[in-house]
Amino acid sequence: MTNQLQLLADDFRITPAFRTSGKVEGVFRTVSAEDFRTIATDALEMTFEGISGDRHGGYTRRSGGREPWYPRGTEMCNERQISILSAEELSLIATRMEIAELKAEWIGGNITLSGIPNLTMVPPRTRLVFEGGVVIRVDGDNKPCRFAGEAIAEANPGREGLDLLFPQKAKRLRGLVGYVEIPGKVAAGEVVTAHVPEQWIYERI
C-alpha cells in the first residue's frame, strides 16, 4: 500500500511556488449596510474583521446561495471580507459587454490592482503582501452574478440585458475574495506582491 501511495504522489505535476508583483490602482469601501456598491477613498483601514465599518466586514457571515451545502443563513467564517479586482480584467469585461467602462465601485470592489496577469485565476492560499504591511489571504475567485449585473445596468441606462450579460462575459474575470491575515492600511500607489503557493491538480481516480 505504501509503495502504491508513493507512486500516486509521484504522478502529480507540481508547479513550484513563485512571486509576481503589481500596483494598487484604487481603494474603495461601502457606505451603507443596504448597498454593496462602493465609493473611492484615500486609504482602507483593515483589521482582522476586514475593512472597518464595511458592509462585508466581520469575523463571521451568513451563508447564502454560494453555500448550498448549508441551510441559508447559517453563521460561518467570513472568508469574503475583501473584494480584489484587476484593472485589466475590468477593461476586458467592458469590451466584451460593449460598454465604455466598468468601474470597480459598480460591482462592490474594495481594491483594484494592475500588473498581476490573470488575477482572477490566482489560486487559493495566495498571500497578497502590500507595501505598507497588510497581508490578504486569497480564498478564491469571485463568481459574477446578476446582482452585480443589475448595478452595471443601472449605471448604463438605455442598454437592455446587461444584468444577464455580466455573468456571461465576466466568467473567470470577476476578481478574488479574501480575508485579512495581517491588518494595517492600504492606499493607492502601493506595490503588492502575490506569493503564489506550490500548486497541483487533484483529480478523481
In a domain, 158, yes or no: yes
Which structural domain range is residue 19 located in? 12-196
Distances (CA, A) of 76 to 69, 100, 106, 131: 12, 38, 26, 30
In a domain, 28, yes or no: yes
Q: How far apart are CA 151 and CA 105, in angstroms?
A: 10
**Cell, residue 72:** 441559508
Write the CB contacts of 13 (distance below 8 Å, at least 6 apart in sequence): 200, 201
Q: What is the pLDDT of residues 53-107, one digit of tens each?
A: 899 999 999 999 889 999 999 999 999 999 999 999 999 999 999 999 999 999 9
In a domain, 202, yes or no: no
Cβ neighbours of 21 (radius 10 Å)? 13
pLDDT averaged per 10 residues in sequence order, the chain, 205 residues: 61 93 97 89 97 92 92 96 98 97 97 98 98 98 92 93 95 98 98 97 82
Number of domains the chain contains: 1
Residues 143-182 as b/e (b if ≥16 CB within 10 A, e otherwise) read: ebbeebbebbbebeeeeeebbebbbebbeebbbbbbbbee
Q: How far apart are CA 115 and CA 92, in angstroms?
A: 14
In a domain, 20, yes or no: yes
In a domain, 2, yes or no: no
- Residue 27 sits in a domain of what CATH number? 2.40.33.20
In a domain, 205, yes or no: no
Predicted confidence at residue 3, as pLDDT, reads 59
